[in-house]
Chains A and B, each alone.
Chain A
Amino acid sequence: MNYEQLIHETALADERLLVMTAENRALIRNLPGPLGPRFIDTGITEQTMIGAAAGLALRGRVPVVHALATFLTLRAFEFIRTDVGIPHLPVKISAFVPGFLSDGNGPTHQAIEDVSLMRGIPGMTVFAPADEQDMLAMLPAIWASPDPAYLRVNTRPATYQHTPFEIGKAEIVSEGKDITILTYGMLFEQALIAKDLLTQAGYSVGLVNLRSLKPLDEAAVLNVVKAGSLVVTLEDHFQTGGLYSILAELLLEHELTAKVLPLALKERWYKPGLLSEVLEYEGFTGQHIARRIGERLGGGAHTFGAKTKVVENEFAE
């Protein structure tokens, strides 16, 4: 089962579902035939596509819209906020190549403020699966929900067997006394490597795949904080407005403090290249993550092995 098969199957079973795209068919190439008029391609028009999706949702449809994450969240932002957010319509936004997944496309295509923007819209839900298997586990609940939803599409192959999904619940991979890595999206894959390396080096390491940034699994995050280990927020997003900010807001609300190491992009765009090069250059491979955490703990002597092998993305239109 892949994304296309799941949406195909769901649309056949539920006539409310409509597939829309602003001429970004990478995930849904084979659907125009089987879905007929329920496949609507508006051409390269992110704003108009979102407006039309709102009109369709007004009539009881559940439009699943597809385009590049950066253009949906930035160019069409006001349309999402105003046409989808204000009337709280169940438009489901499938945002392609978010964060580091736009690899070689350059800064115009880097959706690294998308979580910040989308979570700022009242009622909008925000999801970031770790890989394709995680995404397929998440989508049925997201599409069935009456809420508007933003999804950071991630079709990378799974390196971890995920547990069933429930909206607002994080996936606790492990609990640790020394370090807990909180992460979402494609960096989960590297976080797993970092966890293994740090564990081999003798640390007790926790790892949480948040899955949903809004609603946030506050109980899971508070448990990590109260356990007293170093909390690492790991994200392919600007440090401002993403997980680090979400954690800071939660801590303040509960009058708590914690040792926190933010691993995110600080006040700059990342250097474009193939995904493996991007992760290496920017310090987000499993090895780099382990090293950066080790340094923070005062154990800088660990080198954490050779360069990580990263499966390159297929060319994304």
Chain B
Amino acid sequence: MTTEKKQALSELALRVREHIVRLSTDGGCFTGASLSCADLLVYLYADFLNVNPGNLQDPERDYLFLSKGHDVPALYGTFAELGFMPKERLQNHLKSNDSIYWHPNRNVPGVEFHSGSLGHLPSVALGVALDARLRGQQQHVIVITGDGELNEGTCWEALLVASAHKVNNLTIVVDRNHFQANIATEDLIPLEPLAPKFEAFGAVVKRIDGHDFTALEEAFTALPFSPDKPSVIICDTVRGRGLPSIERRADRWFCNFSSEEITSLLKELHSQEATKLTSETLTVR
């Protein structure tokens, strides 16, 4: 990846993170979970996927399903930056006159399917991938799951079926930020060794740094990893990435900051100097 491209993607990801921070007030949102996959979503929508505001109904477009619905602020930030929706629309967050709330909703152009209940979209994406193959179409069908979400049995069930049916156009991407909701994955339901688990279920797996655009490009441009198997990309990420004051903290999954804190956090995003937060103003769900 060229330095210029990397720079452009980094600047875009920074603006997406600003949107996430701005959505973390007046009711709040899933801030920590969203920040971990901002780089991944920015890379996919800005550089990799054949999906844009002009082809949202094209049956040959690439599909991205956000199964870990908590990340939707990152998706909306990306959509706002890439012209899927006007930036002003983000001000409708949690307002009854719009469909922008804590989980994805299909009424927002670009959102392929609603989510929120975990472990559903690997199956839905499998159905889309099966149909694309039936019609001889070559697009990517990508589903992003959380790592805590992998506790849900249907994630594995869908992979078993995808492997059995040799669905090579389906890619499962894991945002491996090492947290469930409020507890570290390895402290509650350990997932490691994760890559061999996926391999045992019939997928070809690559594990990368989910914040490294070069690594993302190398992995995604190599898809499909096999002509007759589904692919899995495990993206090791940091929950709260970009804001040292909330990074890797179990209690910063859902945040509802005061407006003063939002100002400090926006400053922190640019300076990398941690903001002092008053924990009383944070809501943990």
A interface list, Cβ under 8 A from B: 37-38, 40, 42-43, 45, 47-61, 63, 78-79, 82-83, 86-87
Say whether B131 contacts A42, CB under 8 Å: no
Contact (A54, B124) CB under 8 Å given A59-B59, A78-B117: yes
B267 touches A (CB below 8 Å): no
Say whether A56 contacts B161, CB under 8 Å: no
Chain B, residue nearest A54 (CB): B124
Please tell me which one of the listed residues A37, A51, A78, A87 contacts residue B127 in the complex, with CB atoms under 8 A apart.
A51
Say whether A59 contacts B154, CB under 8 Å: no
Contact (A42, B128) CB under 8 Å given A52-B123, A78-B117: no
Chain A, residue nearest B114 (CB): A86
> B127 — which chain A residues lie within 8 A by C-beta?
51-59, 63
> A86 — which chain B residues lie within 8 A by C-beta?
114
CB distance from B159 to the nearest CB of A (A): 9
Contact (A48, B59) CB under 8 Å given A54-B127, A59-B128: no
Enumerate B95-133 residues with CB–CB distance to A below 8 Å: 106, 112-114, 117, 120-133
Say whether A51 contacts B164, CB under 8 Å: no
Question: Which of A48, A78, A87 counts the most chain B CB atoms within 10 A?
Answer: A48
Q: List 6 A-B contacts (CB under 8 A).
A: A43-B164, A45-B160, A48-B161, A49-B123, A56-B131, A59-B128
A78 to B128, CA, bound (A): 19
Interface of B is mostly: helix
CB distance from B122 to the nearest CB of A (A): 8
CB distance from A48 to the nearest CB of B (A): 4
Contact (A61, B131) CB under 8 Å given A43-B164, A45-B161: yes
Please tell me which one of the listed residues A38, A52, A57, A83 contacts residue B161 in the complex, with CB atoms under 8 A apart.
A52
Say whether B161 contacts A55, CB under 8 Å: no
Interface of A is mostly: helix
CB distance from B260 to the nearest CB of A (A): 38
CB distance from A22 to the nearest CB of B (A): 10
> A45 — which chain B residues lie within 8 A by C-beta?
157, 160-161
Say whether B154 contacts A55, CB under 8 Å: no
Say whether B161 contacts A43, CB under 8 Å: yes
> A87 — which chain B residues lie within 8 A by C-beta?
106, 113-114
B134 touches A (CB below 8 Å): yes
CB distance from A36 to the nearest CB of B (A): 9
Say whether A38 contacts B126, CB under 8 Å: no
B158 touches A (CB below 8 Å): yes
Chain A, residue nearest B59 (CB): A59
CB distance from B164 to the nearest CB of A (A): 7
Say whether A52 contacts B158, CB under 8 Å: yes
A63 to B130, CA, bound (A): 12
Say whether B120 contacts A82, CB under 8 Å: yes
A87 to B114, CA, bound (A): 8
A38 to B165, CA, bound (A): 12
> A47 — which chain B residues lie within 8 A by C-beta?
123, 154, 157
A274 to B125, CA, bound (A): 42
> B121 — which chain A residues lie within 8 A by C-beta?
51
A45 to B130, CA, bound (A): 16
| 13 further contact pairs, Cβ within 8 A, besides A48-B154, A55-B125 | A38-B134, A40-B165, A43-B160, A48-B126, A48-B157, A51-B124, A54-B123, A55-B131, A56-B131, A57-B127, A59-B128, A86-B114, A87-B114
> B165 — which chain A residues lie within 8 A by C-beta?
40
> A59 — which chain B residues lie within 8 A by C-beta?
59, 127-128, 131-132
A41 to B67, CA, bound (A): 24
A305 to B209, CA, bound (A): 78
B144-164 Cβ-contact flags toward A at 8 Å (1 or 0): 000000000010011011001
Say whether A83 contacts B128, CB under 8 Å: no
A53 to B117, CA, bound (A): 17
